[in-house]
Amino acid sequence: MSDQTHEVPFTDDTAIEISQVVKDYAIYRSPRERLVSLIKPNSSGNSGKIFRALDGISLIVRRGETMGIIGRNGAGKSTLLQVLCGTVTPTVGTVRINGRFAALLELGAGFNPDFTGRENVYMNASLLGLSKAEIDDRLDSIRAFADIGDFFERPVKTYSSGMYVRLAFSVAIHTEPDVLIVDEALSVGDIRFQMKCLARIEALRARGATILFVSHSMEQIKRFCQTAIWMEGGRVKLHGEASFVADQFRDHEIGRDSETRQDASQAGGSQGEVPAFIETVSLSRDFMAPFEPVTVDISYCIRDESIHGFLLGVAIKGLDGQHIFGPNTHLERVDIPSKKGSHRVSYHIPSMPLLTGTYRVDVGLFTDKGMVCLDYLSDVAKLTVAAPYFSEGLVYIPHEWIVHVD
């Protein structure tokens, strides 16, 4: 693990090379000052203040690698992706991408609102590198994937934001890029479309595409990425294995008492809009001593005929949100009912090792290895553990003392 990736020569095994990239933005006190700077770039009337969005980034991404990019808002993540895509020119440094690439940033930003969906497909796909013959060959598949019906032949200005996302994603994914850049694009749109998008991204990855994936969901980063970078203040603070980097970032955020987002925000919508939802959650007891058994009973309802990759997770957390333990049925290879109807699953702990304190229980339904949240209940139940003082900490770890006598 390192604070900054060292520069490595560009080879056939390299998909992306970022070398000493700096991006500065001038800060102006007024619109007039900005106008003067455009007319007279060296005018002394400028404020002279500079905001450095990227500060000497160097990074190598190998072919076939899936890299997550995490960090607080304003850390430089989106600026880095814009530099990679060529929509922003670096002040200093170079970027090289090996092969065809597609970016899912501000989906639909390149669409002409007066053109129909069909016309925008031809225009957008050609900008992404497809020939007219290739677009002709893939047009039906693009239209079917977007699934916007007759709106495909209507002006884009009549589209909802969800239709923009569907069509833009469909165009980008059908270019079959060697490098795919995704910036929170999958947080937009309905649950079923997210599931379809992730399945298509998985297929791209399976054939060796390189993927850069920006997300505020640490679970998505850990499940979807092999490596990750943590950006802070326009620099790479940490680069390494995805789970390690995500956990380090999360621990850092908890330490700053700034973990304000709830995973439940990923679920979105009401019960009627999602393929599955949690019906009830109950604890076999809410007050106990250490090492006693406890069971969490969960009932859930599936509205679709079946859900591929369906999983259930239970998390035990401190009242401050500290994640103590969080298994799920996918990681532990437990098959649970995933077909239409109501189902019940029990999560049983035969000997709870928690020490004195009050703890909260979260329950979530997910799909696609936990990347898409279908429903999430935060702090759905509380568990209080009480015992005479016999140890310090959160959990009891079996141990022994060995006294050595000379």
The partner residues of 19 in beta bridges, in order of sequence, read 94
pLDDT for residue 211: 92
Per-residue buried b or exposed e for 161-195, using 16+ beta carbons within 10 Å of the residue's own CB: eebbbbbbbbbbbbbebbbbbbbbbbebbbbbbbb
- Is this model's pTM higher than 0.75 or not? no
Instruction: Round to whole Å and give the CA distance between 216 and 26.
Output: 28
CA quadruple 67, 68, 71, 77: dihedral sign = positive
Cβ neighbours, 10 Å, residue 392: 7
H or E segment at 344? strand 339-349
Query: What per-residue confidence (pLDDT) applies to 41?
Result: 60
Per-residue pLDDT tens over the stretch 235-281: 999 999 998 898 888 777 756 543 433 443 344 434 445 789 899 99
* CATH class of the region 264-385: mainly beta
Nearest Cα residue to 81 out of 110, 54, 113, 56: 54
Phi-psi region of 218 (alpha: psi -120 to 50; beta: other; left: phi over 0): alpha
pLDDT means per 10 residues in the chain (406 residues)? 40 86 83 70 60 92 92 89 88 91 69 90 87 93 91 90 83 88 68 80 87 83 88 93 86 56 41 75 92 95 91 91 89 93 95 93 86 83 89 90 90
Residue 44: its pLDDT value, please?
53
Cα–Cα distances in angstroms (integers) from residue 380 to residues 112, 150, 315, 362, in the given order:
46, 43, 10, 6
Cα–Cα distance measured from residue 93 to residue 367, given in angstroms and rounded to the nearest whole number: 40
| Domains of the chain, residue spans | 14-255, 264-385
3 state DSSP class of 31 = helix
pLDDT of residue 18: 93
In this predicted model, what pLDDT tens digit does every residue of 133-167 receive, in sequence order?
A: 999 999 999 999 988 999 999 998 898 877 888 88
β-bridge mates for residue 348, sequence order: 295
How does DSSP classify residue 6?
Answer: P
* Six-digit token string for 276: 């599955």
Which pairs with CB-CB distance under 8 Å and at least 24 residues apart come from 252-261? Answer: 253/72, 254/320, 254/321, 254/322, 258/72, 259/321, 261/216
Closest by CA position to 187, among listed 208, 216, 164, 158:
216
pLDDT for the residue numbered 109: 59
CATH: 3.40.50.10800, 1.10.1660.10, 3.40.50.300, 3.40.50.970. Which one for 14-255?
3.40.50.300
Can you give the pLDDT at residue 56? 92
Q: Are 399 and 304 in contact (CB under 8 A)?
A: no
